Amino acid sequence: MSNQQDSFQPSLAVSTVFEQVGPLQEQLARVALILEPMHQLSELVSVFEPLREFEMRIKDLAKVLEPMHSFQDQLRKVLKQFTPLEALDQELSQLCAAFCESLSKLAAALEPAATLQDRLAHLATAFEPAKALRQEFSALAQRFERSSEGLPQ
């Protein structure tokens, strides 16, 4: 019986070698849990195309309204002489303020997406070793597979 206990047990030897990476494999398994939220996140990307189109239209509108700023600057020079035009100046100011506020809110709404993009870029860099390690371990597995071929089971 002691002879059997002292004999080399390949499966036990390999298990012992790989015990040290067991906790690491558990951590890697958590990556799979993140894939579904990442998929959901990738569906949100569709929001950017309509926003890009809207941005182009707003830029065009800003170009059209640019002369309004010049007009308002000129108007303010003569407001003391033509006080009834103060209401027009106020309305133009309110229009500009409303555009500014709405655009600022839209920019603020994009802040989490911009922050996420920064974090994803950092994560992409941090995860770069994953592909190389996967390839190396797969290549090593194939080498062991070839050397175990033809052995009695």
pLDDT digits (tens, 9 = 90+) for 20-52: 999 999 999 988 889 889 889 998 899 999 999
Distance between CA atoms of residues 106 and 113, nearest Å: 12
Distances from the Cα of 31 to the Cα of 37, 40, 126, angstroms: 11, 15, 13
Instruction: Kindly state the average pLDDT of the residues 58-86.
Output: 92
Cβ-based neighbours of 93, under 8 Å, separated by 6 or more: 72
Is the pLDDT at 118 greater than 60? The verdict is yes
DSSP designation for 81: T
Predicted structure pTM score: 0.68
Higher pLDDT, 6 or 85: 85
pLDDT digits (tens, 9 = 90+) for 122-132: 999 999 999 99
Is the pLDDT at 90 greater than 60? The verdict is yes
> pLDDT at position 107, please?
96
